[in-house]
């Protein structure tokens, strides 16, 4: 994991079924967040719970915040029954909005719609979590091109000054919601992360490419986190089912946290060894 503070996003989808349960789960997650201060945690509940959960976070610098799972492509004030604008979501305290989740793409959202949605979020003070990912893996590596095309069609035309508000979530569709909980391996993930960064660098330069966070999503749980985080070298995770209970989400935090600690100890030992060798050589 490259960036200092990993970003762990929970996507609650259509869970839970009541405000009472949402408050209970979120209160447990808040407690866990106060233990794992080295992580930035975001919970994306269904719309009706966004406001109350965001308000319960309170003001001041916190490592937990609330996001929405989607935003409308329409702006405030239009006659579009049932739509919820990005302004409204931002006004109740959400800090992030997911755009382009594969489950929404499957409901008919196309690149044009997603481009507009992304712009709607960028007009607010929220950050966008833009989801991309191939439906299936072929042996020729065509999935790299699929992801590149998805990024290109939504990101083209975005102002350079807005890129700091965009986070990319790579979620291979075939790895989402798997009953056997098999995620992409860290090795394969790393190849995609490198590919995405290379594409960002070629299109928008080094500064933007190295600043942008890339998350992984798709059947993440506490037992596959280590491989994903360490070998995949992602900047965080987009977690579905393992964020629906306090316990499962807390286990993911614990696992990311322990990877970070083990890794920084290893790095420290390497640096010490190098310094000792240099000292010896000088004598």
Residue with smaller CB distance to ligand PGA, 67 or 217: 217
Going through 21-72 in order, the beta strands assigned E by DSSP cover 40-44, 64-68
Question: CA-CA distance, 256 to 260, in Å (whole number)?
Answer: 6
Burial class (CB in 10 A: 0-12, 13-18, 19+), 148: middle
Residue with smaller CB distance to ligand PGA, 91 or 133: 133
Q: Does 109 bind ligand PGA (CB under 6 A)?
A: no
CB contact at 8 A, 10 and 40: no
Mark the segment that binds ligand PGA (CB under 6 A) among 66-74, 120-128, 196-204, 240-248. Answer: 240-248
Residue 219 Cβ vs ligand PGA, minimum distance, rounded to whole Å: 4
Please report, as residue ranges, which positions from 11 to 40 form the binding site for ligand PGA (by CB under 6 A). 11
The one catalytic residue in 83, 101, 103, 112 is: 101
Q: Does 1 bind ligand PGA (CB under 6 A)?
A: no
Q: Does 224 bind ligand PGA (CB under 6 A)?
A: no
Q: Does 228 bind ligand PGA (CB under 6 A)?
A: no
CB contact at 8 A, 152 and 132: no
Nearest to 154 by CA among 175, 141, 169: 169
Catalytic residue flag (residue 101): yes
Residue 237 Cβ vs ligand PGA, minimum distance, rounded to whole Å: 9
CB contact at 8 A, 52 and 39: no
Residue with smaller CB distance to ligand PGA, 78 or 102: 102
Question: CA-CA distance, 57 to 49, in Å (whole number)?
Answer: 13
Residue 167 Cβ vs ligand PGA, minimum distance, rounded to whole Å: 13
Residue 183 Cβ vs ligand PGA, minimum distance, rounded to whole Å: 8
The one catalytic residue in 103, 109, 134, 171 is: 171
Size of the site for ligand PGA (CB under 6 A): 13
Q: Answer whether the bond into residue 142 is a cis peptide, omega within 30°.
A: no
Nearest to 124 by CA among 91, 158, 157: 91
Q: Does 239 bind ligand PGA (CB under 6 A)?
A: yes
Residue 217 Cβ vs ligand PGA, minimum distance, rounded to whole Å: 4
Q: Does 176 bind ligand PGA (CB under 6 A)?
A: yes
Please report, as residue ranges, which positions from 199 to 218 form the binding site for ligand PGA (by CB under 6 A). 217-218
Which residue of 100, 172, 186, 240 would you call a contact of ligand PGA, by CB under 6 A? 240
Three-class secondary structure of residue 8 per DSSP? strand
For residue 59, count other CB atoms closer than 10 A to its CB: 7
Which residue of 115, 197, 213, 241 would you call a contact of ligand PGA, by CB under 6 A? 241
Q: Does 220 bind ligand PGA (CB under 6 A)?
A: yes
Question: CA-CA distance, 102 to 147, in Å (whole number)?
Answer: 12
Catalytic residue flag (residue 171): yes
CB contact at 8 A, 244 and 15: yes
Question: CA-CA distance, 182 to 228, in Å (whole number)?
Answer: 11
- The residue to which tokens 């003070």 are assigned: 125
Q: Residue numbers of the site for ligand PGA (CB under 6 A)? A: 11, 171, 176-177, 217-220, 238-242
**Residues belonging to the active site:** 101, 171
């Amino acid at each position: 994991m490259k960036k200092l503070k990993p970003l762990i996003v929970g996507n609650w989808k259509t869970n839970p079924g009541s405000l009472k349960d949402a408050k209970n789960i979120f209160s447990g997650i808040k407690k866990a967040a106060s233990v794992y201060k080295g992580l930035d945690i975001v919970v994306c509940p269904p719309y009706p719970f966004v406001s109350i959960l965001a308000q319960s976070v309170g003001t001041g610098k916190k490592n937990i915040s609330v996001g929405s799972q989607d935003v409308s492509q329409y702006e405030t004030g239009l006659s579009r029954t049932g739509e919820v604008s990005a302004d409204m979501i931002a006004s109740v305290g959400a800090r992030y909005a997911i755009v382009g989740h594969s489950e929404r793409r499957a409901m008919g959202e196309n690149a044009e719609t997603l481009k507009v949605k992304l712009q709607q979020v960028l007009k607010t003070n929220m950050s966008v979590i833009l989801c991309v990912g191939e439906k299936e893996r072929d042996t020729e590596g065509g999935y790299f091109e699929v992801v590149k095309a998805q990024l290109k069609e939504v990101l083209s035309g975005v102002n350079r000054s807005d890129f700091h508000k965009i986070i990319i979530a790579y979620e291979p569709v075939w790895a989402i919601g798997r009953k056997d909980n098999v995620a992409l391996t860290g090795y394969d993930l790393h190849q995609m992360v490198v590919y995405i960064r290379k594409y960002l660098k070629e299109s928008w330069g080094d500064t933007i490419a190295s600043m942008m966070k890339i998350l992984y999503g798709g059947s993440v749980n506490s037992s596959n986190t280590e491989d994903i985080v360490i070998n995949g070298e992602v900047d965080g995770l987009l977690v579905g089912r393992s964020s629906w209970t306090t316990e499962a989400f807390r286990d993911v935090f614990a696992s990311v946290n322990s990877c970070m600690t083990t890794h920084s100890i290893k790095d420290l030992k390497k640096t010490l060894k190098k310094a000792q060798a240099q000292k010896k050589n000088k004598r």
